[in-house]
Amino acid sequence: MSRSDWLLTAGVLVVFILVALVSTLENALGVSVSFGVLGTVIQIKWNSRRDPRMWALIGIVGAIQLLAIFLVHIPRLSVGLVCLPFALVEGYALFGLLNWMERRFPRT
């Protein structure tokens, strides 16, 4: 594993602990998985890090996901049960959206 992989893993662990201290373990799991997916997309698209559109898109997706985790409560369904499938879909969608944006609107 590279240094960036270790940093991302440590970051996910720190986010999990911090959210678990102020909220429930289910919310901590959802937020840490979301943080890990966003971090992985940033690692993969590291060459685009100077493009403000990438950061705007990641910020919008992250904010929507945090709102969904903390505000949407579905009875009889735990966050832990659905966070991994939703995180995978989110990661693929975000990666595809970033690729589409780079192809459709190239930087000048």
Instruction: Say what the pLDDT of residue 18 is.
Output: 94
Residues 6+ apart with CB under 8 A from 87: 33, 34, 36, 37
Question: pLDDT digits over 60-107, tens only?
Answer: 988 888 887 778 776 766 766 777 788 888 889 999 999 998 899 887
Instruction: Say what the pLDDT of residue 12 is.
Output: 94
Residues 6+ apart with CB under 8 A from 15: 28, 31, 32, 35
* Count of CB atoms situated within 10 Å of the CB of 55: 13
- The tokens describing 76, both together, are 């009889």
* Count of CB atoms situated within 10 Å of the CB of 13: 12
Q: Which of 16-20, 26-30, 102-106 bottoms out in mean pLDDT, i.e. has the lowest?
A: 26-30
- Bigger pLDDT: 6 vs 74: 6
Rounded Cα gap, residues 19 and 25, in angstroms: 8
